[in-house]
Amino acid sequence: MGTKRGHTGWPGTAGGGGGATGRAVADAAVAAEAALAERLRQAGQRVTPQRAVILGALCPGEHLSADAVLARVGGRLPTMNRSTVYRVLELFRDIGLVSETDLGGGVRQFELLGERHHHLVCRHCGAILDLDDALVRPLREAVGARYGFAATVDHLALFGRCAACDAAAGTNAGP
Mean per-residue pLDDT of the chain = 78
- CA distances (Å), origin 158, targets 81, 96, 122: 32, 21, 9
- CA distances (Å), origin 124, targets 3, 32, 65, 66, 128: 17, 37, 21, 25, 11
Maximum distance among all alpha carbons in the chain?
A: 58
Tens-place pLDDT, residues 54-112: 988 887 778 889 999 999 988 888 888 899 999 999 998 888 888 888 777 778 888 88
The domain limits of the chain are 1-114, 115-175
Fold (CATH) for 115-175: Dna Ligase; domain 1 (3.30.1490)
* pTM summary value: 0.60
* CATH class of the domain comprising 1-114: mainly alpha
